A and B are shown apart, each in its own frame.
Chain A
Amino acid sequence: MMVAAAITRDSVPVLRRGVRRQFDRTRNCAILMAPERVIVLDEIADAIIESFKPAATVSDIAAGLATRFRAPAQEIEEDVIAFIRELNDKGLIVL
């Protein structure tokens, strides 16, 4: 069995083609729209995806969020990596 692509601090995550982040006014929450799927985003998840920029690495994203949420960078980085891994497995994020 092959192991999934490794996600490191230097990975640059982007939404896969056909995946969009938007706000759902009916249910009053941030969502990810993907083929035949809707994923509800909590505040942190939404902030992570909002931080995706060309050439922004996982550590750049984590540093920005650590400042914004006044949280330890190390902890945030672990959360960001776990989240990106989960969405990569689901085919919503590519590295």
Chain B
Amino acid sequence: MNARHRPAAPLALMAELTHRCPLQCPYCSNPLELLKVAQERDTEFWLNLIGEAADLGVLQIHFSGGEPTLRPDLAALIAHATARGMYANLITSAVLLNEDKLQALADAGLGHVQISIQGADPATADRIGNYKNGHAKKLEIARLVPKLGMSLTINAVVHRQNLDQLPAMIGLAESLSADRLEVAHVQYHGWALRNRAALIPTREAFEAADAIVAERRAALRGKMVIDYVVPDYYAAKPKTCMGGWGQKLLNVTPDGRVLPCHAADSIPGLEFERAGLSPLKEIWEQGRAFETFRGTGWMQEPCASCALKEVDWGGCRCQALSLAGNAAATDPVCHLSPRHEEIQRLAESESRADHREFIYRRL
């Protein structure tokens, strides 16, 4: 066993205020079993949590969901986080916002708004989000964000059914004066795993997208940053999921459970403490779910003797579970995993499937 020492303070808190969302994206990262409004925590709970997180050293708070703007107390929560020295980020579909509401969030101290787009044109985007006029509404709100002095990130979620629009989506982000564009290939958890055969791109399409991003990133240097999240089924090395389990981030679900990552709920046998019942500091430092995969002590081979074990921390635990059937296994996207080739074959074969229909995310 590794010597136990206290983990460094967390940097970020993901506050999933609600699972409710007007959009029905088939790759939603929320769990398949969505929490209902009656299970959501009240304003006082979130205010207390924000205070505890600030005391613990959290610097960044991400208001997320579901759709966080469904919560009437969002501005109050942002104001409290800002007053406690945290940087407030909002991850939103933007379709429920208007100028007055956005102004109120800016006045509360919101620093950054991340708006997702589902495509470059309304027909494609509205079909994927299954929400009429959503795309037009998103663009209207996106244009207001820089005008109100906040940083704008456009989050373009890409997959087989919109990857051909990547150049247009990059152009769209530029035309909206975005400070940053995140081109995020769908990650196959939750709803996305269920819809994988309709979403996963071919290797050729992925490689073409890679080249486009590299070219545009160089051309836009100093103007718009492009962050790129690769579809890790086609990668040779696993991603450093969450910056390491229990090392940087806390995720709090709409019903107040504290998770090391938003998908950790999918791992059977893990139990999550509730904020408000135990001190957040104690949950972070000693909570069982955090301790289970923190550091390297839990690792099996080939991770345990790998030179990169403290670089990628064995990849994603949720993916190890969903693809290899064991959350403590090496993430099968790693070329050293015994399941690696099988996963790549699966990805290639699904990517060529003639499958367009989505199972939409619904409460």
Contact = CB atoms under 8 A, between A and B. Distances in A.
Interface string A37-60: 110000000000000000000000
The DSSP consensus for interface residues of chain B is mixed
A72 interface: no
B225 A33 contact: no
B150 to A, nearest CB: 6
B150 A18 contact: yes
Q: How large is the interface on B (under 10, 10 to 19, 20 to 34, 35 or more residues)?
A: 20 to 34
A16 B179 contact: yes
Interface string A8-24: 00000000111110101
B57 A88 contact: no
A30 interface: no
Contacts of A36: 12, 60, 62, 89, 112, 114, 153
B221 A35 contact: no
B11 interface: yes
Interface residues of A, number: 26
B11 A34 contact: no
A2 B60 contact: no
B151 A34 contact: yes
Contact of A19 (B59, B89, B151, B153): B151
Nearest to B224: A91
24 contacts: A1-B218, A1-B219, A4-B222, A16-B179, A17-B150, A17-B151, A18-B111, A18-B112, A18-B151, A20-B111, A24-B59, A33-B87, A34-B112, A34-B151, A35-B87, A35-B151, A35-B179, A36-B62, A36-B114, A38-B60, A91-B179, A91-B222, A91-B224, A91-B225
Interface of A: 1-2, 4-5, 16-20, 22, 24-27, 31, 33-38, 88-91, 95
